[in-house]
Amino acid sequence: MSRLPIIAIAALTVITASTAALAQSASPSPPAPRHAKGSFEVKMVPQEQDKAEGSTLGRLSLDKVFHGDLEGVGKGQMLTIMSDTPGSAVYVAVERVTGTLNGKPGSFALAHQGVMRGESRQLTVEIAPDSGSGALKGIAGRLTIDITGGQHFYDLAYTLPNP
């Protein structure tokens, strides 16, 4: 039996793998994440509550003013549930941010989810997909919040499509 078909198959496999690797390396890489940092003030106004045994449902309006790399305002709504156990609560919120991000004017929406269990805190704030407008169209990313000494600070890790 001739070894020629085996050599041909091996060569074809190497060529196919090399072509696939070249195609992957030719794909445009995603844009590098950028960071915007600063502080913000927030005003939360309770809208209504529903108290029952074991938990309280709440709704609040959110008004924020951002300073730093993001200069603008945020408007939103928050839903909460607090248990009778101190320190245990959950919240979700949606917020539209309008302003200038590192010199680019536009708006985008944020989706918040927070879970508190005693001293444990988990918070996720993501830019809502396809919510960007103006020069912020196509924005994606996450925002982290740090509260130090009663003051709120943000770090927005984001990407924008290449022009």
**Arithmetic mean of pLDDT, 66-78:** 98
Q: Where are the domains of the chain?
A: 34-159
DSSP one-letter code for 135: T
Identify the CA nearest to 36 among candidates 162, 151, 155.
155
Indicate the residue type of 52. Answer: A
* pLDDT-above-90 percentage for the chain: 74
- What is the C-alpha to C-alpha distance for residues 102 and 70, in angstroms, rounded to an integer? 6
Name the architecture of domain 34-159. Answer: Beta Barrel (2.40)
CA dihedral 23, 26, 31, 32 (to 10 degrees): 100
CA dihedral 31, 36, 41, 45 (to 10 degrees): 10
pTM above 0.85, yes or no: no
Q: Which pLDDT tens digit goes with each residue over 12-23?
A: 444 444 444 444
Give the pLDDT of residue 2: 53
29 three-state secondary structure: coil
